Chains A and B, each alone.
Chain A
Amino acid sequence: MVESCYIPKDLKEALRIRKETQARPLAGGTDLMVVHRRGTGVVPSFPWPVMIVSRLPQLQGIFTDGNEIVIRSLVTCSEIEKNDDVPYQVRKAASLLGAHSLRNLATIGGNICNASPKGDLPVPLIMMDAKVVLLSATGKRILPLDEFITGPKKTALHSDEILTEIRIPVPTVPYSHIWYRKIGTRKANAISKLSMSAAITFSQERIVTDFRSANGASGPKVARSREVEQILIGTHAREIANKIPEILSAYDAILSPHAMPEYRRSSTRRMLHYFLTKAASEDCERIII
């Protein structure tokens, strides 16, 4: 049991402490405090030093930088939920995470670094090709989020690094139709049984120029396959119906057989089928629900 806990006053000090002691950042604490809790009346105990970064000013804020939306790592779910600049699906996912009190504490950085297969925010983020910025006292790395999360509870974070930013590229042509759905164990304060985020873009001639779909709680990490998505690129809207069976079975194959009891598998198929059929029809809303 290690008893040291640091409270750095700024990012620079945090990076120094991180380098010297490998202290783990504690942001909202909604994962860390729960995992390391002990019984009634006893404070949690951590097997490594911890530093409370919750208040660091340099890691707060949401802004636009060129064609990217940047969300700093300490931004909470309730801040994301309320911010108009953040893409719809990320806001939606943030708004369905836990309940009010949790969303006021839980950060985007914590949700990503926790790397739970059931975590909600990585799903739309990976669908949108978001990148993460990792800072250390000696340098900076930028990785696609899909590569940063390597497996259940596993990330490519180095022991001297802190996640500082999440960068979401804004597509030059806006998605024509988008979809986000979380199936929780109930309507609030619910861990995902399944979540799915998808988007499709049509050219003026109704040819698919972009299609993407990601699944959460469907395997060791967020499931997404660019090859499967390719099947639809270049297809005319009226041909989509013919390609759905192929898409569905290819998509099915990327979902982990272990984490996917029949319910999740069949719900995924029904949702994808529904989304594509709706999107292919002429007059339909941008946000499909």
Chain B
Amino acid sequence: MRQTPIGNPIRRVDAVAKAAGTLKYVADYHFDDMLYAKMVRSAVPRGKILSIDLPDLPTGYYFISHKDIPEGGKNQLQMIKSDYKCFAENEVRFIGETIGLLVGPDRGELEELLSKVDISYETQPYSVTIEEGLECKGGPFVGDDNLFCDFTIDKGDVDKVFKNADRIFEDEIRTGWQEHVHLETNGAVALCEGDKFVIYVSAQCPFYVRKSIAGLINRPYEDVIVRQTATGGAFGGKEHFPDVLAGPLLVATYTIGKPVQLIFDRFEDSAYSVKRHPSRTRFKTAVDDKGNIIAMDIDVVYNAGGYESCSYVVLQRGVFHATGVYNIPNSRVRGRAVATNTFPSDAFRGFGAPQTLFAVETHLNHIADSLHIDPLELKRRHFLKKGDVTVTNGHINENVVLPEMLQQVLDQSGYPEKVRTYEKGSYKGIGISFYNHGGAFTGNGEQMIIKAKVRLKKNRNGTVDLLIGSTEMGQGLQTALIKIVADALQIDPKYVRYPNPDTSKVADSGPTVASRSTMIVGKIAERAALSLKERWNESDELTVEEEYEHPEGFPWDQATFQGDAYIGYGWGACVVEVEVDPLTFEVNTTGIWSSHDVGVAIDELVVHGQVNGGIIQSLGYAAMEKLDFSQKTGFKQVGLSDYIIPTSMDFPSQRCTLVENPYEYGPSGAKGMGELVFNGASAAYVDAVSRAVNRPIYSIPIPPETITELIS
């Protein structure tokens, strides 16, 4: 049996190579005869391409566009939806849309040539904001209403309850764009290997890339081999977006026959990449005479940008999390994803949940204010418990340990005492938030769509290879999964190897997204390891493969969105304390306390790393990460000196604790947690600032300029 609890930290398997700088990232790959590519992009938010004037291309230089897609190939990237074009043809929908690639041996020369490409457009009026998208400014460009999707879920009888409500509160909460700022920018190399094509790429989901681009050259998936290179951060920004690089590169290498590399510089990666969906959430909330919430009518709109990609799924998660961690007896949530002429919004840690969770937390704070009670009083009264009915009329199937988590953050932060002593408007404030995150794919997606597989191979020398498509991107997955496998096999983790995936060699364990990898893939890996252990002496070399098994008794109807949207949730509570400078309205965060239920931590240090990073990222989202549209570069705050993310100086060190709550269907009781930790700190921060300056806050981010406006 296991000697020490699995949660005890070990040195991360990727630590030494990363610290020593010996790890090879995609920009470090060089192949004989390799050419470089530069993207030719749309310079206008909406218009028709009238002409493309190229400078004279020296020999060995190429311009690759939709015209190079071979017969039978389709000019589309197959993401969740297939509307994203590999190359714009006649129309462009946003600034930065790919029109072509300039390819050649010298990157300096390519820069020169790029500056001489002259594209003329017939421009059209365009939409940027949610309102402009909904109004179809300049005429709709998606269907007749600019909506990629529009659906509503109902629980109980909202209309009836509203008629009898004591008080009704209306509110509108907004969140902005957010850029991923993964340390390593996007990059890929494409080349031919025999009669196959190979893509080296910094990506979360190698199998997604393969599926997305093989159709461009009309080949079966297997003819495109994707090899994930060491990935220096992703946060969702490398879920579908690598397809936007890999697709054109595949067409280029198909046409030219040589390896081609495309690496974005920081400016490109920041201006011309997908972002978190901006949101507008409207609430109408009915409260009875005892101050209990009896119904909520919620209208959620996400700005999806120029193409749908995965927005429908992002929106679903947003809608399913719209009432937060609260049991609201009657609710109606409508969700819409609207098309605008901005760079497509896409996956970003939290995948739609952070926007509505921020909204509902902030809305409840506003209600508590009107009721003259502390937000905590209002919130804890409505905490979800095991057996409660969810917004999709499913159930909470697990023990909810929010009360224990709350106790931890209260004890550590001194919240009750501080609420009493910090007067509103005293420039000191403390705030609190609660949040959850449904683990893995929504509903029965794991069973119906993903069907994950895990392969383990025992080698002659007794080592074991974990052969799966799941990826390490800095989050610690290699360490976690190696520990799970080693633990089940009862061998030292150093005998388990987990190479970066190559789609021709590993089992498709599904995308590395949705906080599913430890919880779902880890569980399958655990089963595979147990079965390998049983068969260990059968032969010197042995391969076992296991598939996902869906637990019984969790009904879900994907057509009506009814039933158990998620089988297990991670839960969180966060307290943030601030001091606002009365001269400059700069905010100094003086304390951060959090407690999370992640089931059981597979490695406490990895979990703490995720908590620390997730919370800082969430605070950056609320405090400083301002991103506006620009007619020139698509986004105004581009690059690291203008797009402001927190440094290690900006927030104090955190106190984070866990409440252990083993999850029946996870490996060693683990649940998903990578996104959970992003979902809530922003609301606690805004609560704290709002109390410190005694003003309600309706949108994020809130840099000092915004706080000044609130006060004056």
Contact = CB atoms under 8 A, between A and B. Distances in A.
Nearest to B705: A263
B708 A266 contact: yes
B19 interface: no
Nearest to B639: A34
Contacts of A271: 583-584
Interface string A167-201: 00000000000000101011111110010000000
A270 B583 contact: yes
Nearest to A37: B265
A191 B637 CA distance: 13
Contacts of B141: none
Nearest to B586: A183
A39 B265 contact: yes
Interface in A244-289: 261-263, 266-267, 270-271, 274
Nearest to A264: B705
B705 A186 contact: no
Interface in A215-238: none
Given A270-B584, A271-B583, A271-B584, A45 B108 contact: yes
Q: For this complex, into which size category does the number of interface residues on chain A fall?
A: 20 to 34
Contacts of B624: 185-186
B101 to A, nearest CB: 14
Label chain B's interface by main secondary structure: loop
Interface in A32-67: 38-43, 45
A40 B265 contact: yes
B584 A99 contact: no
Given A40-B27, A188-B647, A274-B583, A183 B107 contact: no
Contacts of A40: 27, 107, 185, 263-265
Contact of B584 (A183, A189, A261): A183
Contacts of B649: 186-188
Given A42-B108, A183-B586, A266 B712 contact: yes
B111 A38 contact: yes
B142 interface: no
B282 interface: no
A186 B647 contact: yes
Contact of A38 (B108, B582, B648, B703): B108
A213 to B, nearest CB: 14
Contacts of B582: 270
A191 B582 CA distance: 21
Contacts of B27: 40-41
B9 interface: no
B641 interface: yes
Nearest to B185: A40
A267 B582 CA distance: 9
B36 interface: yes
Interface string A8-41: 0000000000000000000000000000001111
Nearest to A43: B108
B527 to A, nearest CB: 43
Interface in A123-180: none
A271 B583 CA distance: 6
Max chain A Cβ within 10 angstroms of own Cβ: one of B110, B583, B644, B712: B583
A194 B647 CA distance: 19
Contacts of B264: 40
Nearest to B267: A39
Contacts of B111: 38-39, 42
B131 interface: no
A252 to B, nearest CB: 15
A81 to B, nearest CB: 15
A186 B644 contact: yes
Contact of B708 (A43, A45, A188, A262): A262
A144 B647 CA distance: 37
Interface in B260-281: 263-265, 268
Contacts of A191: 641
Contacts of B497: none
Contacts of B586: 183
Max chain A Cβ within 10 angstroms of own Cβ: one of B584, B644, B648, B705: B584
B646 interface: yes
Interface in B56-111: 107-108, 110-111
Nearest to B38: A39
B704 A186 contact: no
Contacts of B584: 181, 183, 194, 267, 270-271
Interface in B292-338: none
Nearest to A189: B647
Nearest to A98: B641
Interface in B556-581: none
B650 interface: yes
Nearest to A266: B708
Contacts of A267: 583-585, 704, 708
A38 B582 CA distance: 42
B704 A41 contact: no
Interface of A: 38-43, 45, 99, 181, 183, 185-191, 194, 261-263, 266-267, 270-271, 274
Q: Closest 4 interchain pairs by CB?
A: A187-B649, A263-B705, A188-B649, A270-B583
Given A42-B108, A187-B647, 16 more contacts: A38-B107, A40-B185, A41-B36, A43-B108, A45-B108, A183-B586, A185-B644, A186-B624, A186-B649, A186-B650, A187-B650, A188-B650, A262-B712, A263-B708, A267-B583, A267-B585
